[in-house]
């Protein structure tokens, strides 16, 4: 073929590819490549283009089905998150919001579009009580991100319109190779629950109050009858009276415990602080439990240091000491040992009460200060007990700015310690 003719031929045959490339340039690979009838050097070009178009079509089909699957899974995830009744917010490792479900939008009054990518701490203020705004460093999410551990608690949140409401909150960090890469906050508006709690506490406190007076009067009358100066009652009758007296005392203890707990729950613990001599108060508390000590033949050893006077409500302090002493006797062996120690390091006073009793099983240790908790070995050794004493003791000690803890091993005894600050004034 002549050169000129060849060029004409090449131009013509290749021009059949122009519409294919024109469409491909805008992402359309739908046009089929038709291989020319004439088999020559251009046939290879057409076959090559045809293979290329087919490969690209396959890739596009693969990508489309992947995209569809991804979209479906994202839609499913959104539907899943939105079907959760609790509010849910996920943040990245810096605390920036990456996900929020519908319930969270409704509870807080923000939409996801308004707050996506912003710092959670800047959007939602969090409070301990109604008033004290938590700083960034002690927000639960910071604690969870730093420690890599779940944080649970009741707090107050502020909505978009700055009104506050109580929330029950769980913050769980999500980890990659042991490092926090974000956190999920799940929260619930617990306004109603708090109202019910308040009503329960109010009812409990009213009932306990009303029961205390007649029970106190019954105790007084029984004491008079038990004195029986003219030997009016037979031995049997006196024995029965003593049993009734014991039952009455137990009811009084329970009613007093319930009253204390409801006062703590309502934040209404009576408080009339006075400067007291701690060692003196402990001696008086020991007198109060002397019957129990004698009955169980317990040997008591009280070691003191010179202590400065402490400003504290004497009635509450006595309740704390009597409670700890009574436990150290109740859960002790017959002929057991009771050691009381007071120490002063000029910053705080530490009081320790050690017994040689049944001890606290490992599986019960975490719950010892919980309301109504009693370990199985304690219920076996002493069937009477409310499980409220240590809850009250811990609440009082912490309200004074002190700490309480214990060491114990089953069958080897327990030591309860608590501290009272002396450098600063104990808060009223």
Is 368 one of the binding residues for ligand ADP (CB under 6 A)?
A: yes
CA distance 247 to 218: 11
Beta-sheet strand order (sheet of 126-127): 97-100, 87-92, 179-189, 164-176, 151-158, 126-127
Stretch that binds ligand ADP, among 47-55, 272-280, 285-293, 352-360 (CB under 6 A): 352-360
Residue 32: phi and psi, rounded to 5, are -80, 150
Residues 169, 278, 360, 422: which binds ligand ADP (CB under 6 A)? 360
In the numeric block, which tokens belong to residue 23? 């469409």
| Closest by Cα among 375, 409, 399, 247 to 319 | 399
Q: Interface with ligand ADP includes 375 (CB under 6 A)?
A: yes
Q: Which of 278, 310, 358, 422 binds ligand ADP (CB under 6 A)?
A: 358
Q: Which residues of 147-168 are buried (b: 16+ CB within 10 A; e: fewer)?
A: eeeebeeebbbbeeeeebebbb
Q: Does 367 bind ligand ADP (CB under 6 A)?
A: no
SS3 126: strand
Does position 374 bind ligand ADP by CB under 6 A?
yes
Is residue 320 within the footprint of ligand ADP (CB under 6 A)? no
Applying CB under 6 A, the span of 7-15, 68-76, 341-349, 386-394 interacting with ligand ADP comes to 386-394
- 144 lines the binding site for ligand ADP (CB under 6 A): no
| Contact pick of 352, 357, 417, 420 for ligand ADP (by CB under 6 A) | 357
Among 20, 103, 144, 328, binds ligand ADP (CB under 6 A): 328
Q: What secondary structure does DSSP assign to 367-412, as a single string?
A: GTTSTT---HHHHHH-S---S-HHHHHHHHHHHTT--EEEEEETTT
Minimum distance, C-beta of residue 375 to ligand ADP, in the bound complex (Å): 3
In sequence order, the 6+-apart residues with CB closer than 8 A to the CB of 168 are: 153, 154, 187, 188, 190, 193
Asked if 325 is part of the footprint of ligand ADP (rule: CB under 6 A), the reply reads: no
Distances from the Cα of 292 to the Cα of 288, 295, 306, 352, angstroms: 9, 5, 28, 19
CB nearer ligand ADP, residue 43 or residue 377:
377
Which range, of 36-44, 74-82, 116-124, 354-362, touches ligand ADP by CB under 6 A?
354-362
Q: Which residue from 355, 395, 400, 417 is in contact with ligand ADP, where contact means CB under 6 A?
A: 355
Compute the distance between CA of residue 171 and CA of residue 83 in angstroms, rounded to an integer. Answer: 19
Determine, following the binding rule CB under 6 A, whether residue 289 of this chain makes contact with ligand ADP: no
Cα→Cα distances 408→136, 165, 303, 329, 392, Å: 37, 40, 20, 15, 20
Candidates 146-154, 191-199, 339-347, 357-365 — which segment interacts with ligand ADP by CB under 6 A? Answer: 357-365
Closest CA to 153 of 187, 106, 199, 195: 187
Residue with tokens 């309480």: 404
Among 155, 157, 331, 400, interactor with ligand ADP by CB under 6 A: 331
Nearest to 275 by CA among 245, 300, 310: 310
Residue 293 near ligand ADP by CB under 6 A: no
- Cβ atoms of 331 and 381 within 8 Å: the answer is yes
Q: Does 336 bind ligand ADP (CB under 6 A)?
A: no
Query: Residue 381 CB, nearest distance to ligand ADP (Å)?
Result: 8
Q: 42 vs 373, which CB is nearer to ligand ADP? A: 373
Q: Is 390 in the site for ligand ADP (CB under 6 A)?
A: yes
By CB under 6 A, the residues from 262 to 281 that bind ligand ADP are none
Place of tokens 């319109």: 161
Tokens in use for 224? 């008079």
In the three-class reduction of DSSP (H, G, I as helix; E, B as strand; rest coil), residue 269 is classed as coil
Closest approach of Cβ 327 to ligand ADP, in Å?
Answer: 3
Backbone angles phi, psi at 10, to 5 degrees: -60, -40
Of 101, 327, 352, 419, the residue at the interface with ligand ADP (CB under 6 A) is 327
Residues in contact with ligand ADP, counted by CB under 6 A, come to a total of 22
Is residue 385 at the binding interface for ligand ADP, with CB under 6 A as the rule? yes
Residue closer to ligand ADP, measured from CB, 20 or 325: 325
Query: Which 403-422 positions form the footprint of ligand ADP (CB under 6 A)?
Result: 414
Whose Cβ is closer to ligand ADP: residue 29's or residue 373's?
373
* Residue ranges in contact with ligand ADP by CB under 6 A: 323, 327-328, 331, 355, 357-360, 368, 373-375, 378, 385-391, 414
């Amino acid at each position: 073929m002549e050169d000129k003719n060849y060029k004409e031929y090449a131009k013509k045959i290749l021009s059949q590819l122009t519409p294919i490339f024109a469409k491909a340039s805008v992402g359309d690979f739908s046009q089929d490549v038709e291989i020319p009838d004439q088999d020559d050097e251009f046939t290879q070009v057409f076959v090559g283009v045809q293979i290329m178009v087919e490969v690209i079509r396959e890739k596009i089909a693969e990508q489309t089905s992947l995209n569809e699957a991804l979209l479906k899974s994202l839609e499913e995830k959104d539907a899943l998150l939105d079907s959760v009744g609790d509010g849910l917010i996920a943040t990245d490792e810096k605390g920036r919001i990456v996900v929020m479900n519908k319930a969270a939008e409704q509870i807080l009054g923000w939409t996801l579009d308004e707050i996506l990518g912003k710092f959670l701490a800047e959007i939602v203020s969090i409070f301990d009580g109604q008033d004290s705004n938590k700083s960034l460093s002690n927000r639960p999410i910071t604690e969870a991100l730093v420690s890599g551990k779940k944080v649970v608690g009741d707090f107050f949140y502020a909505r978009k319109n700055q009104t506050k409401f109580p929330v029950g909150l769980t913050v769980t960090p999500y980890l990659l190779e042991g490092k926090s890469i974000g956190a999920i906050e799940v929260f619930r508006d617990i306004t109603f629950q708090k109202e019910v709690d308040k009503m329960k506490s109010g009812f409990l406190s009213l009932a306990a109050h009303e029961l205390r007076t007649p029970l106190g009067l019954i105790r007084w009358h029984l004491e008079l009858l038990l004195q029986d100066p003219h030997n009016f009652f037979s031995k049997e009758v006196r024995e029965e009276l003593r049993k009734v007296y014991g039952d009455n005392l137990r009811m009084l203890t329970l009613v007093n415990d319930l009253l204390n707990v409801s006062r703590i729950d309502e934040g209404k613990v009576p408080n009339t602080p006075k400067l007291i001599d701690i060692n003196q108060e402990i001696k008086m508390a020991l007198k109060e439990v002397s019957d129990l000590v004698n009955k169980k033949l317990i040997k008591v050893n009280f070691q003191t240091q010179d202590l400065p006077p402490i400003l504290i409500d004497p009635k509450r302090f006595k309740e704390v000491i009597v409670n700890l002493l009574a436990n150290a006797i109740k859960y002790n062996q017959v002929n057991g040992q009771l050691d009381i120690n007071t120490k002063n390091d000029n910053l705080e006073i530490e009081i320790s009460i050690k017994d040689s009793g049944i001890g606290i099983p490992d599986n019960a240790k975490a719950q010892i200060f919980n309301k109504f908790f009693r370990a199985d070995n304690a219920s076996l050794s002493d069937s009477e007990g409310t499980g409220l004493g240590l809850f009250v003791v811990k609440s009082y000690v912490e309200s004074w700015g002190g700490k309480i803890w214990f060491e114990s091993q089953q069958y080897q005894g327990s030591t309860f310690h608590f501290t009272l600050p002396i450098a600063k004034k104990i808060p009223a």
